[in-house]
Amino acid sequence: MAVPEFTEIKYRGSANGDFIEVAIAEGEDVSGIQIVVYHPNGNIRSTNAIGVYESTMFGKDVYSLNVGVHKDGAVALVQDGVVIDFVSFDSVVSPSTGPAAGMSSTQIGSTGNNSDQSVHIDENGNWTTGDINEGTIPCFLSGTKIATKRGEVSVEDLRPGDMVVVRDGGFFPIRWIGSFTADARGEGFEANAPVCIPRNAMGRGVPARDLFVSPNHRIFMQDASFEMFFSDREVLIPAKHLVGWKGIKQVSFVPRPEYFHILLDKHQIILSDGLLTESFHAAEETFDQFEHETRDEILRMFPDLIKLASQGNTARRCLKRFEVPIALSAKSAA
């Protein structure tokens, strides 16, 4: 029986803003899994099922639970009545009730007063603090035109060394390009099927043609009103959270979509079919989703990347699922 694990926890938001993310081997029964949230005094605050299924990425099913978590509280991950993990943040908690009774929580890190950060686990099983990140792998479908110094080039024709146009000024060289093919007959394909952003969905000529990306690929959006809600005018939103807005939809008519990752020296906003989207984000939790051979290949070519990955910084703030409706409502009203 596969053992679940915490992968990310945000605990300084509102009761609706906090979340707990759990991963388990693809296809495993999760009916016996509970997430028990404790008050700082050790009493149970809430007992919850594993949460909402988010996606299946490279052998792991990912679930997300929106639930209030106190900075001095704790969270227990329970499987069939057995405590798998018991973690806390700013303080140690020692309950006398519930499944974690008699235990003392393990402190995994603090985000301080920063409500825009979370704690998440890296590929070595260590907890780190950084920007909120769903642990995703951003990919372009073959045929996508990427803006480069020599004009628009199909993503499958790009090579390391090609200079890509970036929003923050100038050009950045491509350090590595990887690809994989998803099989419509395979398990979890529905969650990984391409998202189509129709031509002109974001404005005239934006994108210039129908753009197909992986569900977790983040799309750049900006609006003056965002600053009031998110303290930033510019944000990144996973494509899957845009489905249903302006004709954006997930499609299944591509039986074996070939996805490409573009790695630059740092996370950047680039032009794909005329729409601003993200390059590959070298976060440790993202690396953990690659097969060992692919991960080793990247690190052989870019040995300093693991240091970059530990920084956890993204080019713009990344919105969570529960924040997206606020952004889209504000954008539609503008």
Residues 13-33, buried b or exposed e (16+ Cβ, 10 A)? beeebbbbbbbbeeeeebeeb
Q: How far apart are the first and last CA of the chain?
A: 50
Structure confidence at residue 63 (pLDDT): 87
Q: Quick one: CA torsion of 147, 149, 151, 155, rounded to 10 degrees? A: -50
Q: What is the mean pLDDT of residues 151-178?
A: 93
pLDDT tops 80 at residue 288: no
Structure confidence at residue 173 (pLDDT): 96
pLDDT tops 90 at residue 159: yes
- Greater confidence, 53 or 331? 331
Structure confidence at residue 132 (pLDDT): 58
Q: What is the mean pLDDT of residues 161-170?
A: 95
Q: What is the mean pLDDT of residues 56-79?
A: 84
Structure confidence at residue 320 (pLDDT): 84
How much of the chain, in percent, has pLDDT values that exceed 70? Answer: 77
pLDDT tops 60 at residue 226: yes
Structure confidence at residue 134 (pLDDT): 46
Considering the domain 135-333 in this protein, what is its CATH number? 2.170.16.10
CA 319/CA 327 separation, integer angstroms: 9
Tokens representing 151 are: 């004009």
Question: Which run of H or E residues covers position 145?
Answer: strand 145-148
Q: What is the mean pLDDT of residues 277-292?
A: 64
CA 85/CA 240 separation, integer angstroms: 30
Structure confidence at residue 100 (pLDDT): 97
For residue 239, CA distances in Å to 84, 164, 166, 198, 281 come to: 33, 22, 20, 12, 15
CA 262/CA 173 separation, integer angstroms: 10
CA 122/CA 284 separation, integer angstroms: 5
Question: What's the angle, vertex CA 115, arms to CA 113 and CA 118, rounded to 5?
Answer: 105
Could you tell me the sign of the dihedral formed by the alpha carbons of 229, 12, 43, 2, in that order? positive
Let me know: does 324 contact 241? Beta carbons within 8 Å.
yes
Pick from 85-89, 303-307, 311-315: least confident = 303-307
Q: What is the mean pLDDT of residues 283-298?
A: 53
Give the range with max mean pLDDT: 53-57, 301-305, 308-312, 314-318: 314-318
How much of the chain, in percent, has pLDDT values that exceed 90? Answer: 48
pLDDT tops 70 at residue 290: no
- Greater confidence, 308 or 67? 67
How far does CA 314 lie from the centroid of its chain? 11
Bridge partners (DSSP) listed for residue 212: 196
Shortest CA distance to 284 belongs to which of 126, 102, 151? 126
Structure confidence at residue 110 (pLDDT): 85
Q: What is the mean pLDDT of residues 178-200?
A: 71
Q: What is the mean pLDDT of residues 11-32?
A: 81
Structure confidence at residue 225 (pLDDT): 94
Question: Which run of H or E residues covers position 308?
Answer: helix 305-309
Binned at pLDDT 50, 70 and 90, residue 40 comes out as very high
For residue 145, CA distances in Å to 3, 206, 246 come to: 41, 13, 21
Structure confidence at residue 194 (pLDDT): 86
Give the range with max mean pLDDT: 5-14, 201-210, 312-321: 201-210
Amino acid at 254: V
Let me know: does 45 contact 68? Beta carbons within 8 Å.
yes
- pTM tops 0.85: no
3-state secondary structure 162-213: CEEEECCCCEEECCEEEEEECCCCCCCHHHHCCEEECCCCCECCECCCCEEE
Structure confidence at residue 58 (pLDDT): 47
Structure confidence at residue 131 (pLDDT): 56
- Greater confidence, 276 or 138? 276
User: pLDDT (tens digit, 9 = 90+) per residue, 315-329?
Assistant: 999 888 888 999 999
